[in-house]
Structure 1
Amino acid sequence: MQRRVLLGLGAVMVVASCGRIRESRLNPFNWFGRARRREAVPAAPEAPQDPRLLVAEVVSLSVDPYSTGAIVRAKGIPPSQGWWEAELVPRPIDENGVLVYDFRVFPPLIETPAGTPRSREITVAASLSTVALDPVTEIVVQGATNALSSRR
């Protein structure tokens, strides 16, 4: 009898909290939406210089939740084949909760053919913990000619 009462109360509490969880940051489906085009974010003048260049164009962005945070994935297309050592380089989070990543990559050491856009695609990812994600309301990945963003 006591077991049924406890199970019943537990079920009522779970159902009652569903509305609150749906609107909170605890719900992984509520984290980030689809990527949208965004205006470029200028770099701060005191930002450390990275010798790598920005990828020519950012073509996709996704923020995928996992058990202890999220993975930010971006795909970019450089002007030719042979670009290497790509990385999402984070900037400090601004006062509005915007986290900007610069999509940086080294150019080829020798002249290379352009090839097809698909043959030039570069995919990079960065992992963020739940704690690091807490103040973030928007994630932006910056390329040389465009930027994509995903908002909560």
Structure 2
Amino acid sequence: MSKLTAPLLIAALAVTGCGRLGDSRWNPLSWGEAPARTLEPEGGYAEVSDNRPDIPQITAARWEPLNEGRLLVVNGFAPVRGYSSVALVTARPMPGDRISPDADGVLRLRLVGVPPAPGSAAALPARPGVDDITAAMSLSSVQLSRIVAVEITSAGNVVRLGR
């Protein structure tokens, strides 16, 4: 009986090392190179680009203070009324709602919107100063700390704001 005790004890230790403690150094399956651990989903992040056309012209851009950051307010103008779904979107697709500048520290945005259908009642001629298109984006202090400038592009012009 005593001859069987030592081999059983060694076998029990080996099986324990392969069990739920699979990351331990006792597990022979973990002796190879460990795979890199990442939070990135399998297949990478989905890059969704915005297919809305650019607003024809940017007339003004300014910063408004917030408690924890700033609000970027951009005004635009189109020759007709009735634009919908107007927004500021990043020039290059980014995962989720993450906003980060390019390598040079410039955050590049586009002012986009859906124009009215041709011939619809919403497609009346627009009046400057009255029928402005406004979009805004809030940026936190953490996001602003990495941004040197913001560049907003429309179909007709580009506006650049310093931080």
TM above 0.5: yes
User: Per the shorter chain, which TM-score range?
Assistant: 0.5 to 0.7
Deviations 1:24-46 (A, max 9, x none): xxxxxxxxxxxxxxxxxxxxxxx
Gaps of 5+ in 2: 1-46, 92-99
Q: Which residue of 2 aligns with 1:67?
A: 67
Q: Which residue of 2 aligns with 1:52?
A: 52
Q: Which residue of 1 aligns with 2:139?
A: 128
1:139 aligns with 2:155: no
After TM superposition, list the pairs within 5 Å mapping 1:1-150 onto structure 2. Answer: 48-91=48-91, 92-111=100-119, 112-150=123-161
Structure scoring higher RCO (CA < 8 A, sep ≥ 6) equals 1
Q: Which amino acid aligns with 1:56?
A: P
C-alpha distance in 2, partners of 1:69/1:104?
23
Q: TM-score, normalised by structure 1?
A: 0.64
Q: Which amino acid aligns with 1:142?
A: T
Query: Structure 1 residue 116: deviation in Å?
Result: 1.4
Deviations 1:43-102 (A, max 9, x none): xxxx74322110000000001222101100000001211111100002451111100110
Q: TM-score, normalised by structure 2?
A: 0.60
Contact 1:81 1:119 in 2 (8 A): no
Contact 1:57 1:144 in 2 (8 A): yes
C-alpha distance in 2, partners of 1:148/1:115?
22
* Secondary structure at the counterpart of residue 133 of structure 1: helix
**Residue-pair matches, total:** 106
C-alpha distance in 1, partners of 2:115/2:125?
12
Runs ≥4 residues deviating over 4 A:
none
Q: Which residue of 2 aligns with 1:28?
A: none
Q: Which amino acid aligns with 1:96?
A: D
Q: Which has the larger share of strand?
A: 1
Q: Which amino acid aligns with 2:124?
A: P
C-alpha distance in 1, partners of 2:64/2:147?
14
Q: Which has the larger share of helix?
A: 1
Gaps of 5+ in 1: 1-46
Q: CA RMSD in A?
A: 1.6
